[in-house]
Structure 1
Amino acid sequence: MIFGIAVVALLLASVLARSGFRCPATACGAGCPPSRAALSMPHPFVADPATGALLVDLDDDASPEDREAVARELAGAIAPFAWSSGLGEMLSDEAELFRVRAPESEVSDVLARLGRNELVEGIEVERTWSLPETELGFVPSSQPPAATDGERRFTPDDPYYRFQWHLDQIGMPEAWARARGAGVVVAVIDTGVAYRDGDRFLRAPDLARTRFVEGWDFVDDDAQPDDEHGHGTHVAGTIAQSTHNALGVAGVAPEAAIMPLRVLDRNGAGGWGAIAASIRWAADHGANVINMSLGGGMRSRTVERAIEYAHEKGVVVVAAAGNASRSTVEYPARHDHVIAVGAVRFDRTLSFYSSYGRGLDVVAPGGDTRVDQNGDGMPDGVLQNTLVGRDPRRFDYVAYQGTSMAAPHVAGVAALIVGAGVTDPDAVERVLTSTAVDLGDRTRYAAGLVQANAALARASQESGAARGALAALLGLGVLVGLRRRGKLGVGLAGATMLAVVVAGGLGALPWHLVPGLGGLESLLAGGGPGAAAHIGGRWTALFAMSALVPLAAVALMLHFRKMQPLLVGLCLGTAAFLLVEALAPTTAVALLPGWLVGPWLVLNAGVALWLGRQVARQSR
């Protein structure tokens, strides 16, 4: 009876942990995100300009017949005006998202008719979001400092790194000694990126060694998301500028790959439809992190659904809080499942332009080009390599200020955390907020100033330590019990130690302090199932986060006596890993609905535990 109650309690706790259960606002104050009721409230004093179109979002599984039925109803709503355009412009085939330009006099009829159609998930007047107002700073000139690569710090040899006070402010020299974002893809949803050489475009010089993956231009509807503004290139540089190449400046996660997605035109404005389609595109094409340094004052349900889709796919979404200089976070940062980032200056006070208040999650360096607080002879902006004068063939090192600049710092740190094996979006946010430096005023700074090194330490060590400790307890509990009854046929110490290794317990050791071994920290902390889930695709992750791997190993190697201690360690280590994951998620399992992941992990942990016990008994 007691065992049954414990199992039920564990299943319930895992459901709450994995389904994103949040405490009420009265319990956790500024650390909790706003409720949906709060999100639906209009942003004061701000009305984003309309595009003159409607966004029609059908059910993702809509058939061609369903589309035709909705198109007929649309034509009926527009009558007596002639309508022969079907559902208008398709923005996303996978999302069944369409842009309809109906006669202005018929918009209310279309909203009413299609809003009642069960095939239509959502319909709204499309509006534009744009870049937060950003000020330019300076172009530096200096000689490079001496580069060092010590046990606990890494200082790149980029000559203008000395002016990147903002990277030191979030602890990058220590963090680079641990990880640099290898294997992680960050989608930059912006004005595009200067990522290639072409007829009219050149690759930004200091992005020469940065890795890029396939992107898309949602403005011109082609596969060349080139930057004609400069903002997106600057943002991409903060995330993954080519670093330690004796040129220019550094980036937060220089070994991460950038996915350029252009949704804003040459003037820095773009419609909700393009933004929503790009979020879905990023989630479907392998992005681990999304950065959106854009926004506006009004809520878009279409964009919100796209964010929810990306979150279910295991994508971390980061956005700028806005430069409105008031206590209202803008959208999309204010939506659920988005890490909203405000901006601070060199002295860690809130930048004069930064939005703040309910919905803010963390702050990061955004700069203030009006001052030189660090005394380096240059205004305190965020420095990166980007276009000059919106000319896609001219580049220089320019400092911007804004929450647009703060957000990519957080996206870069999120990429480092994902690379360390923490892939669940909610877990990444918990790591970021729990390791941020508390700046006192929760309304203005939320959890505080993001710290890359502390976040990596938490990602690499705490989860590994918890799993390792549970693996040791499970190993000793199961194996000692068998030995007392004379039924244990494997070595107690060896099998238990192997369980600790499989669960990720060795990741609790500070490997980064040993020259040349820093990469072992995140590898070992991830544990066997976590490493497999992180390296493979979504189906691989589902199999890795189950009892199937130990089950297959036992089926193949049970009769090899020398392998039996390894099999016991694999089973018990997997059980420990899955149990901790069920209660404190770090790894995304994107193919299962959120409410089912916890029970899945608990049940598979039970199977792995039982299997390990059976192998230990059979090996007498």
Structure 2
Amino acid sequence: MRKLLTAGFAAAMMACGGITVAAPGTAAPQGSHVAGQILVKFRDDRAAAGVLRQHGLSDGPGVGSTGARLINVPAGKELQLISALSRNPAVEYAEPDEVVTATTDDPFFDRQYALHNDGLSFKSTGGTVTVTGGDAGDDVDAVEAWAVTKGGSTRVAIIDSGVAIDHEDISQRVVARANFSDTVIREGNPADNEKYDKYGHGTHVAGIVAAEHNTVGVAGVCPECTILDAKVLNDTGSGSTSRIVDGIDWAVDNGAKVINMSLGQRVSNRTLEAAVNNAWNAGVVIVAAAGNGGTQAKVYPGAYANVIAVAATDNKDNKASFSTYGKWVDVAAPGVNVYSTFPFHTTVLGTQNNRAPRYDVESGTSMASPIVAAVAALAWSADADATNETVRKKVEETAEDIGGNGTNWVHGRVNAHDAVKPSVP
């Protein structure tokens, strides 16, 4: 289908779009870890207190369902204590807590080339969106998919900087929220409403997934999906492995069918991988941004086997210049100048990138990832017998070959309409 727009953004250290996040598709600098805490998993929890006491440490809380513990340590001694604990036979592993960073009848639908591409390109400068012509590229065929399903209340967890509750185009899609970040939010206090997403990233991602068909603003790829809002990134777009793990576990416990993580870190982490594997084993499809580094360097959680890693393309189906790529990346989706929701209030991301409140474009694999997550949710809702394995297979095997298969990505750019079609026996 040849029609309109440009999409993108990356989490976890993606440069384009003015974000450095291991959530929209990029990662924090190698070796960047949270000061004053480490992750430790014991072979036998009964030995924990004694082993820790030998190093002058106290036991700490569990990290999700991973079996690891979050241990407070003197700042600056993290790596030294990790080394010492790793030599103890009672310890299965000790590792840093890595820094993670942050990818219709509606009046702005014509700006959403990812859904309906007629060859126009949109760019935002100082809150003003300019339009230029161009040869039509290919979109993800969301409009055609809506003739089959619009999502059927499928739950998609957005593990990010939070979703603004002051935006009528997305707030009503949020059915549950939890704050795992270091931002203090007093639940039910109107004065704290802006704190749900002071950064701006999570609200943009959520709108890409599920902005309503309501004669207002934009349309989400899965407009009848519901959102589980797990706030793990703070007002600067930063978080940690342990907080991401808490968000993943919470999403699973609250019935997520799909988890989107437009964020990332460049260092693999056994605790994070365990949380991802637990979510997969619980029947969830996990999607994450590949990163905005423009290289083939792996970003996590995207690079884990049980995660669909997403690269970014432009409105002509070319790989975005900033997008991370490689044989470890599974699929691609629009990620350059993707038009979506922003909070009504002032945000850090909006200020940094000169974006307007309410609606504007953003670029990165952070923007491409939620498109794929939404396509997965549509595939779930179209098949009563679906499993996470069959949904992932449909999303990947129905992706369109736009060139670059085996080099930039494995399968190509996703196609929502083909993903919701019944499987041929």
Common topology (TM > 0.5): yes
Structure 1 match to 2:105 = 157
Correspondent of 2:182 among 213, 219, 226: 219
Unaligned runs of 5+ in 1: 1-42, 133-155, 196-202, 368-380, 467-620
Correspondent of 1:447 among 408, 411, 420: 411
Normalized per residue, the structure richer in strand is 2
Following the alignment from structure 2 to structure 1, what is the Cα–Cα distance between the partners of residues 377 and 28? 35
Q: Counterpart of 1:75 in 2: which secondary structure?
A: helix
Q: Counterpart of 1:213 in 2: which secondary structure?
A: strand
Q: Counterpart of 2:297 in 1: which secondary structure?
A: coil
Structure 2 match to 1:418 = 380
Following the alignment from structure 1 to structure 2, what is the Cα–Cα distance between the partners of residues 240 and 274? 24
Query: In 2, are the aligned partners of 1:219 and 1:274 still within 8 Å (CA)?
Result: no
Percent identity over the alignment is 34
Q: TM-score, normalised by structure 2?
A: 0.78
Question: Are 1:247 and 2:216 matched, yes or no?
Answer: yes
Deviation at 1:185, TM superposition (A): 0.7
Q: Which amino acid aligns with 1:57?
A: K
CA-atom RMSD, angstroms? 2.7
Unaligned runs of 5+ in 2: 1-25, 117-138, 188-194, 351-355
Query: Which structure 2 residues correspond to residues 487-498 of structure 1 after superposition, within 5 A?
Result: none
Following the alignment from structure 2 to structure 1, what is the Cα–Cα distance between the partners of residues 371 and 320? 15
Query: Which structure 2 residues correspond to residues 199-598 of structure 1 after superposition, within 5 A?
Result: 203-220=166-183, 226-243=196-213, 245-367=214-336, 381-387=337-343, 389-390=346-347, 395-421=357-383, 423-442=386-405, 443-457=407-421, 460-462=422-424, 466=425
Following the alignment from structure 2 to structure 1, what is the Cα–Cα distance between the partners of residues 203 and 67? 30
Q: Counterpart of 1:56 in 2: which secondary structure?
A: strand
Correspondent of 2:155 among 185, 210, 213: 185
Query: In 1, are the aligned partners of 2:201 and 2:349 still within 8 Å (CA)?
Result: no
* Counterparts in 2 of 1:423 and 1:159: CA distance versus 1, 3 Å: same
Larger Rg: 1
- How big is each residue's C-alpha offset from its partner over 1:293-338, in whole Å with a ceiling of 9 and x where there is no partner? 0112111111001000001000100000000011223111111100
Question: Are 1:55 and 2:39 matched, yes or no?
Answer: yes
Structure 1 match to 2:16 = none
Query: In 2, are the aligned partners of 1:212 and 1:259 still within 8 Å (CA)?
Result: yes
Following the alignment from structure 1 to structure 2, what is the Cα–Cα distance between the partners of residues 401 and 353? 9
Following the alignment from structure 2 to structure 1, what is the Cα–Cα distance between the partners of residues 246 and 236? 20
Deviation at 1:171, TM superposition (A): 0.1
Q: Which amino acid aligns with 2:260?
A: N
Deviation at 1:217, TM superposition (A): 3.0
Deviation at 1:115, TM superposition (A): 5.7
Q: Counterpart of 1:384 in 2: which secondary structure?
A: strand
- How big is each residue's C-alpha offset from its partner over 1:532-575, in whole Å with a ceiling of 9 and x where there is no partner? xxxxxxxxxxxxxxxxxxxxxxxxxxxxxxxxxxxxxxxxxxxx
Following the alignment from structure 1 to structure 2, what is the Cα–Cα distance between the partners of residues 275 and 95? 12
Query: In 2, are the aligned partners of 1:191 and 1:227 still within 8 Å (CA)?
Result: yes
* Counterparts in 2 of 1:441 and 1:223: CA distance versus 1, 3 Å: farther
Query: In 1, are the aligned partners of 2:291 and 2:324 still within 8 Å (CA)?
Result: yes
Following the alignment from structure 2 to structure 1, what is the Cα–Cα distance between the partners of residues 324 and 250? 28
Deviation at 1:96, TM superposition (A): 4.2
Structure 2 match to 1:112 = 84
Following the alignment from structure 1 to structure 2, what is the Cα–Cα distance between the partners of residues 274 and 48? 18
Structure 2 match to 1:87 = 59
Following the alignment from structure 1 to structure 2, what is the Cα–Cα distance between the partners of residues 230 and 106? 31
- How big is each residue's C-alpha offset from its partner over 1:65-99, in whole Å with a ceiling of 9 and x where there is no partner? x35x3022111023xxxx4xx313x2546444432
Following the alignment from structure 1 to structure 2, what is the Cα–Cα distance between the partners of residues 113 and 238? 44
Normalized per residue, the structure richer in helix is 1
Query: In 2, are the aligned partners of 1:366 and 1:402 still within 8 Å (CA)?
Result: yes
Query: In 2, are the aligned partners of 1:187 and 1:287 still within 8 Å (CA)?
Result: yes
Q: Which amino acid aligns with 1:432?
A: V
Q: Counterpart of 1:276 in 2: which secondary structure?
A: helix
Structure 1 match to 2:5 = none
Flag the structure with more relative contact order, 1 or 2, with Cα contacts below 8 A and sequence separation at least 6. Answer: 2
Following the alignment from structure 2 to structure 1, what is the Cα–Cα distance between the partners of residues 375 and 64? 32
Q: Which amino acid aligns with 2:248?
A: I
Query: In 2, are the aligned partners of 1:329 and 1:358 still within 8 Å (CA)?
Result: no
- How big is each residue's C-alpha offset from its partner over 1:369-399, in whole Å with a ceiling of 9 and x where there is no partner? xxxxxxxxxxxx1111113531799932110
Deviation at 1:278, TM superposition (A): 1.4
Query: In 2, are the aligned partners of 1:439 and 1:445 still within 8 Å (CA)?
Result: no
Q: Which amino acid aligns with 2:389?
A: D
* Counterparts in 2 of 1:338 and 1:290: CA distance versus 1, 3 Å: same
Q: Which amino acid aligns with 2:39?
A: L
* Counterparts in 2 of 1:100 and 1:399: CA distance versus 1, 3 Å: same
Structure 2 match to 1:100 = 71
Deviating more after overlay: 203-212 vs 249-258? 203-212
Deviation at 1:256, TM superposition (A): 1.1
Structure 2 match to 1:137 = none
Q: Counterpart of 2:312 in 1: which secondary structure?
A: strand
Deviation at 1:339, TM superposition (A): 0.1
Deviation at 1:221, TM superposition (A): 7.3
Deviation at 1:358, TM superposition (A): 2.3
Following the alignment from structure 1 to structure 2, what is the Cα–Cα distance between the partners of residues 304 and 266? 25
Query: In 1, are the aligned partners of 2:63 and 2:70 still within 8 Å (CA)?
Result: no
Query: In 1, are the aligned partners of 2:400 and 2:415 still within 8 Å (CA)?
Result: yes
Question: Are 1:75 and 2:75 matched, yes or no?
Answer: no
Following the alignment from structure 2 to structure 1, what is the Cα–Cα distance between the partners of residues 267 and 143? 39
Deviation at 1:48, TM superposition (A): 4.3
Q: Counterpart of 2:357 in 1: which secondary structure?
A: strand
Structure 1 match to 2:96 = 125
Q: Counterpart of 1:343 in 2: which secondary structure?
A: strand
Between the two proteins, the alignment pairs up a number of residues equal to 361
- How big is each residue's C-alpha offset from its partner over 1:567-606, in whole Å with a ceiling of 9 and x where there is no partner? xxxxxxxxxxxxxxxxxxxxxxxxxxxxxxxxxxxxxxxx
Query: In 2, are the aligned partners of 1:77 and 1:110 still within 8 Å (CA)?
Result: no
Q: Which amino acid aligns with 1:407?
A: S
Following the alignment from structure 1 to structure 2, what is the Cα–Cα distance between the partners of residues 316 and 115? 36
Query: In 1, are the aligned partners of 2:185 and 2:196 still within 8 Å (CA)?
Result: no
Following the alignment from structure 2 to structure 1, what is the Cα–Cα distance between the partners of residues 329 and 279? 20
